[in-house]
Chains A and B, each alone.
Chain A
Amino acid sequence: MDYKYIEQLLERYWECQTSAAEESILHAFFTQEEVPAHLAQYKSLFEYEEVAGQIEPLGADFDKKMLELVGEKNEESKAEKTVVRAQRATTFYRLRPFFRAAASVAIVVLVGSAAQGLFQDNGPKISWDYNKSSYKDTYSATEVDEALEFSLKELGNISKSLRDTNLVVVDSTMRKIK
């Protein structure tokens, strides 16, 4: 593999001409396990820079000591704060969660009803029933028979009267011809 790029970066590193991004490339390169032999001597430099930035010898003991050292003032300010807070805690603040719950319920209801109004603007749609077996007659059989009989009788009357008038017309024309 060609390490010209790394060599160039390293050269610019010594001259302080590398950008932060380029230096992180060098760090990444030199902190990997395998580094080519001619560059291996610089591995320790970059590893050291990594390790030295992570040294954290001050632990919880130090924190405890420091908090004790500044403790008095710290507690005072905390006490002041809590007094102020206690005075502010009115019934309104105590009931605040309930107000919030009520407001959210109100919003849901409002939005819900508004949406309902929007979607039901054209009234409820009734779907057509195409099932013939569920059809029902609104009349009885006897009524049909009576109607048929009546209409046949009337039609008979009409044809009879038509025939009579036809005969009269034929008679009168025959007479005229004669």
Chain B
Amino acid sequence: MKKIDFRYDLLPLKNKLFRLALRITLDSAEAEDVTQDTLIRVWQRREELEKVDSIEAYCMTICRNLALDRREKRDAQHLSLDENPIESADISPLPDERLERDERLRHVHRLFNQLPERLRTILQLRDIEGKSVRETAQILEITEENVKVIHHRARQLLRQQYQKIESHGL
């Protein structure tokens, strides 16, 4: 593979990485830090990466791992302050005007972010970024079968939420 160029090969991935990091950390400042760390880390390892098939998948893997690290650290901090940390889904930021404006979209945003990390990451990769099962498996470093199972569970949970809304007439 050709030499990796920071400006043309890595920088264009920034928003994709940011979206994934945000989905995991649920905090845009942290997501930005994770994106930055990911890009720098990949850039530092660029020589050994020339043999990697998909730089994008590799970056996403790193990004997810860094985001998970941060989350763990933050959760640990929370633990020391608060005995019962609550999932901070409702205060997660909405970095898009359209999401801010539209009440219905804001509601789905909350639905997504209330799911466990694994499920919402799968939804982010499969349904939002449009990654194939294979790419998703590569990024998450799990088997394709596992991707399918988790994806199915995530959609079932979403469906339940929707059915709840329907029965409550929201």
Residues from chain A with a CB closer than 8 A to the CB of B18 are 55, 57-58
Looking at the assembled complex, report how far the CB atom of B27 sits from the nearest CB atom of chain A, in whole angstroms: 13
User: Contacts of A74 on B, CB cut-off 8 Å?
Assistant: 6
Docked complex Cα distance between A111 and B14 (Å): 54
The 8 A CB mask of A103-115 against B (1 = contact, 0 = none) is: 0000000000000
Is B107's beta carbon under 8 Å from chain A? Answer: yes
CA of A41 to CA of B104, assembled, Å: 9
Asked whether A51 and B112 contact (CB < 8 A) given A57-B18, A62-B32, the answer is no
Q: What is the 8 Å Cβ interface bit string for chain A, positions 16-37, against chain B (1 contact, 0 not)?
A: 1000100100000000000000
Interface contact A66-B105, CB-CB below 8 Å: no
Would you call A44 an interface residue if the criterion is a C-beta within 8 Å of the partner chain's C-beta atoms?
yes
Task: Indicate which residue in B19, B36, B159, B166 contacts A69 across the interface (CB closer than 8 Å).
Answer: B36
- Inside 8 A of B162's CB, which chain A residues have their CB? 41-42, 45
Contact status A14-B108, CB under 8 Å: no
Q: CA A65 – CA B7 in complex, angstroms?
A: 12
Beta-carbon contacts of A36-64 to B below 8 Å, as 1s and 0s?
A: 00000111110111011111111000110
Known: A13-B155, A53-B129, A58-B18. 17 other contacts (CB 8 A): A16-B151, A16-B152, A41-B165, A44-B102, A47-B104, A51-B105, A52-B109, A53-B128, A53-B130, A55-B95, A55-B99, A57-B28, A58-B14, A58-B32, A63-B11, A66-B11, A66-B36
Chain A residues within CB distance 8 Å of chain B: 13-16, 20, 23, 41-45, 47-49, 51-58, 62-63, 65-67, 69-70, 73-74
